[in-house]
Structure 1
Amino acid sequence: MPIPKTTDQPQAPRRLLRDVVYDKMFAAIIDGTLEFGERLNDDQLVAWLGVSRTPVREAIAKLAEQALVDIEANRYTRIVDPTFDEFVDTMDVGYAVWSLLLERAVPKLSSAQRDEIVRLLDARADAFAAEQDEDVAGIVRMNAILLEAAASSSLVRLWASGGPRLLLLSRRPVANAVFDHAQARAFTVELRDAVRDGDADAAAAAVRLQPSRLQGWFDAVREAGVYRA
């Protein structure tokens, strides 16, 4: 067997097992594999994920910090089960924080960062134009770039605790086929143009005003019973 040759390319950083487990559980919550209110059993999770109990508990603790999992000591560990009012409140507050992130980050983006965000938003707009689902990894990547550019430890903490819940609650109606592709595309194009032009005020305004434009979608989500009354 030939010995592999070394290269000058840096090795990919090794990921902690708890982070790998977190990613798998996070994806399962976002796509609805783990349903709202579903109780989590350590033994079942260990068998499903093929790991020991420790990284599972560490991942659950992180999910609880992000308000994706509820833990009541000695009683239950379960996926959150939000009410409709909590959904609307999460959208309002989450978009307000997101707008602040854009306001801080857009003026500081490098050319490479700006180009990558524009590409990600182009792909998102194209998916919506075709009435297809967006790539969740794309929106996660975009916000990671914005956080890096903003260089604000306070925003990092805010987004770490609120961003995942905003993503979950905004995505779950999509899994229930309650989504306005045309409106989502219009918003995405507006945001893309603002970022491309380096217009932080326009980018922040597009995001800040978005919940007020979603009343029709909110009504549809309520009627579909995606969230508890």
Structure 2
Amino acid sequence: MPIPSGAAGTDRTLLRDQAFRTLRTAIVDGTLEPGERLNDAEICEWLGVSRTPVREAVARLEQIGLVTVRPGSSTTVSALDVRATVEAQAVAAAMHELAAREAVPVLAPADLDAMVAANDGFAAALTAGEIDAAIAADDAFHGVLVRRCGNRRVTSVLDDVTPLLRRMERVRFSSLTGRSSVAQHARIVELARDGDADGAARANRDNWLTLRP
């Protein structure tokens, strides 16, 4: 038989990943609410893709706990699962602790400046009540350490567990309790600037453990 061209597989993978990211974002930001039923045909029309990448994306969303699939019946956006969120929080905290421990020894001044700028943006967004901007700034802050640690496994694990925490973050960052993260971020930067990898790692872990379901 002829050897299949790699282009078709690559295109399908890209479509699947695009569908996954779009649906994940819509679930996390509340566009698709808990309990809402997902219809393949409607999603295909919305995203402009065929059923195959949509079904593959939905299967991946089920694996990370964002949708519930009842074969032959329905697919719905999962309700906020407290136990699953607690489990995801513990894993995320451990990964961010590892990221900081490995990243601090190789941080450049520009990295520290980026973390300070992200924390300033985070504080401003919280004050303005701009929750999406606050989450983006928080991502930017922690993203410096995740990128600089150079551990692809950390990135992979966080890609799976972080979406489960996003809906909880929206609640936290919309309340006054989220303001404590600004000071915690500043402490992480201070420890990193001093070259205290273990201290920064512990502070980073504790920051993630303050997110309470």
Q: When the two structures are superposed, what TM-score results if normalisation uses the length of structure 2? A: 0.74
Match of 2:179 in 1: 182
| Alignment check: 8 A CA contact 1:17 1:55 kept | yes
Q: Does residue 199 of the first structure (1) align with residue 196 of the second (2)?
A: yes
Per-residue Cα deviation, 1:66-118 (whole angstroms, up to 9, x for no partner): 33223343333222223334333433332232222222222223444443333
| Alignment check: 8 A CA contact 2:88 2:162 kept | no
Per-residue Cα deviation, 1:189-217 (whole angstroms, up to 9, x for no partner): 22333344443223222232236656xxx
Match of 1:9 in 2: none
| Alignment check: 8 A CA contact 1:91 1:170 kept | no
Q: Does residue 68 of the first structure (1) align with residue 77 of the second (2)?
A: no
Q: Quick one: which amino acid aligns to residue 191 of structure 2?
A: A
Structure 1 residues 96 and 163, CA gap change in structure 2 (3 angstroms): same
- How far apart in 2 are the matches of 1:145 and 1:211? 15
Structure 1 residues 50 and 94, CA gap change in structure 2 (3 angstroms): same
| Alignment check: 8 A CA contact 1:70 1:78 kept | yes
Mean alpha-carbon deviation: is it higher for 98-107 or for 64-73? 64-73
Q: Quick one: which amino acid aligns to residue 19 of structure 2?
A: V
Q: Does residue 40 of the first structure (1) align with residue 38 of the second (2)?
A: yes
What is the CA-CA distance between 1:42 and the residue it aligns to?
0.6
Structure 1 residues 108 and 61, CA gap change in structure 2 (3 angstroms): farther
What is the CA-CA distance between 1:130 and the residue it aligns to?
4.3
Structure 1 residues 145 and 57, CA gap change in structure 2 (3 angstroms): farther
Q: How many residues align?
A: 201
Per-residue Cα deviation, 1:33-90 (whole angstroms, up to 9, x for no partner): 1112322111121222233223322332332333322334333322222333433343
Match of 1:8 in 2: none
Structure 1 residues 114 and 182, CA gap change in structure 2 (3 angstroms): closer
- How far apart in 1 are the matches of 2:152 and 2:208? 26
Structure 2 unmatched ranges of 5 or more: 1-10
Secondary structure (helix, strand or coil) at the match of 2:36 reads: coil
| Alignment check: 8 A CA contact 2:116 2:186 kept | no
Taking only the aligned residue pairs, the percentage that are identical comes to: 33
RMSD: 3.1
| Alignment check: 8 A CA contact 1:40 1:78 kept | yes
Match of 2:205 in 1: 208
Structure 1 residues 105 and 65, CA gap change in structure 2 (3 angstroms): farther
| Alignment check: 8 A CA contact 2:35 2:76 kept | yes
| Alignment check: 8 A CA contact 2:135 2:169 kept | no
| Alignment check: 8 A CA contact 1:34 1:79 kept | yes
What is the CA-CA distance between 1:17 and the residue it aligns to?
3.1
Structure 1 unmatched ranges of 5 or more: 1-13, 222-229
Match of 1:86 in 2: 84
| Alignment check: 8 A CA contact 2:92 2:208 kept | no
Match of 2:157 in 1: 158
Mean alpha-carbon deviation: is it higher for 26-35 or for 106-115? 106-115
Q: Quick one: which amino acid aligns to residue 204 of structure 1?
A: A
- How far apart in 2 are the matches of 1:193 and 1:68? 36
Q: Quick one: which amino acid aligns to residue 104 of structure 2?
A: V
What is the CA-CA distance between 1:156 and the residue it aligns to?
3.0
